[in-house]
Amino acid sequence: MELNPGLLPLDWLLGTWECDEPGEGCFPTIKPFRYTETLHFSHVGQPVINFMFNAFHAESKKPLHRECGFIRMQPGTNRVAFIIAQNSGLVEIEEGELTGQQLNLQSQSLARVSFAREPHVQQICRVFQLRPDGKLEQTVSMATDNQPLVQHLHIVYRRAS
Ligand code: HEM
């Protein structure tokens, strides 16, 4: 099916991405960890990209973090919105700009289930970048109730299909 023309600026995301080497997780309050992650971006012809990110512990292979959602672009602009649901009970809207093949996103709104674990996330910033070598890089920073904005995740993916 043809990609909706409004999403052509994001066509480089479509498909499945697997990590090259384990990603690195860190935060001042936790033990550094390594994880693997697979990303799927697809569409059904609507002006919307569907995505699913599934992360696993690098050593035990246990499923850990999962998120899924939708990506929209404001017509005629480079403004991009991610609508995200996470298995931790967090839902979020992230918005930002597409510059070339780099997406810079900031959380605009966060909500969570009433019994979500503490500390609660207060802010999220993400960067996706298609590198000149064809690899995709994702960096996520977050602020919580008791920590200022600092990096939580960094990972590089290669295209699997
Ligand atoms: C810990 C949020 C993605 C693995 C945490 C904590 C928060 C958080 C709030 C607790 C920090 C603290 O105790 O001070 C998020 C958000 C994510 C995200 C908002 C996405 C935007 C991921 C991913 C992985 C991951 C993709 C990959 C496996 C972990 C691990 C810990 C952790 C292993 C420490 C142990 C634990 O508390 O479960 N994360 N996380 N997170 N996160 Fe993430």
pTM of the predicted protein model = 0.97
- pLDDT at residue 89 tops 90: yes
Q: What is the pLDDT of residue 136?
A: 98
- The answer to whether 79 and 71 have CB atoms below 8 angstroms apart is no
What is the domain extent for residue 88? 5-159
Q: Is the CB of 124 under 6 A from ligand 1?
A: yes
Provide the residue type at 49 as one letter.
I
CB of 125 sitting under 6 A from ligand 1: no
CA 121 to ligand 1 centroid distance, Å = 10
- Ligand 1 lined by 27 (C-beta under 6 Å): yes
Confidence band of 74 (pLDDT split at 50, 70, 90): very high
The rounded Cα 43 to chain-centroid distance in angstroms is: 17
Closest Cα partner for 119 from 93, 147, 87? 147
- CATH, residue 137: 2.40.128.20
Q: Which tens digits make up the pLDDT trace of 101-144?
A: 999 999 999 999 999 999 999 999 999 999 999 999 999 999 99
The domain tally of the chain equals 1
- Residue 107 Cβ inside 6 Å of ligand 1? The answer reads no
pLDDT higher than 90, residue 20:
no
Q: Confirm if 47 and 64 have CB atoms less than 8 A apart.
A: no
d(CA 128, CA 157): 11
Average pLDDT of the chain is 98
